[in-house]
Amino acid sequence: MFSSFGLWFDDGKFALFSNIADTFTYDNGIFLRWLGNTLLYVVAGAGGATFLALLAGYGLAKFDFVGKKAVFAIVIGAVAVPPTALAVPTFLMFSKMGLTNTPWAVIIPSLISPFGLYLMWTFSAQAVPTEMLEAARVDGAGEFRTLFRLSVPLLMPGIVTTLLFTMVATMNNYFLPLIMLKNPDWYPLTVGLNSWNAQAATAGGEAVFNLVITGSLITVVLLLAAFLSLQRYWQSGLAAGSVKE
């Protein structure tokens, strides 16, 4: 691997499919467990963060209340704070609550997405006409019915864009699960593949660089599949708000 040209095959053999099979069967199939954990964290964390960002962003964009400007300043300030800066305080708090080494230690912090909230705030302010909401209220529709029946279809590009951003952030999350989780059975792919990579540096450890690279490829393919399947919404979502009318 290290002596050959990286974009060609050293011995003339195409070993991709055998490497994929070895990746899923190595160490009693732990990779499949890590893949399932990652999907759990993405569905619960990124999905929950998107839902909360939708509710909060829509509320902040379409309702007036005391302290709205202060909330806006807090959200903007929170966007500038790197997640790694909060990892250690979060660990200390979760340790006192007895939540470390559990999936909740990864899922709960993932539910908070200031950037996602800001995105949904921006989309809600521009994509949902205030006149339409007022007409729905006159017709007797409640706020939640107005949100899910009228506003959500208009906000779908923003929702998908926020979902993709939070999904990538959750799948790339490394430091938080590294300090929160001790049981390898709860590792996501980022931490699990790094533990395989670190085996070569330990005494008597087995070097499985081919499995690390194959596992990384599978992870990237999953992200590409998500982006391609939601590409139509994603492209229109990125363009929203670029022109002021």
Q: What is the pLDDT of residue 51?
A: 96
Cα separation, 183 vs 153, in Å, equals 41
Task: State the pLDDT confidence band at 242, using cuts at 50, 70 and 90.
Answer: very low
Output 83 or 182, whichever has higher pLDDT.
Answer: 182
Q: pTM of the full predicted structure?
A: 0.83
Residues of the chain with pLDDT > 70: what percent?
A: 88
Q: What is the pLDDT of residue 5?
A: 45
Region of residue 66 (left: phi > 0; alpha: psi -120 to 50; beta: else): beta
| Mean pLDDT, range 54-72, rounded to an integer | 88
Among 55, 71, 79, 75, which residue's Cα sits nearest to residue 147?
Answer: 55
Please count the other Cβ atoms lying within 10 Å of the Cβ belonging to residue 138: 8
Q: What is the pLDDT of residue 184?
A: 92
Among 185, 180, 164, which residue's Cα sits nearest to residue 84?
Answer: 180
| Mean pLDDT, range 126-137, rounded to an integer | 88
Would you say domain 16-239 falls under CATH 1.10.8.870?
no
AA letter at 211: L
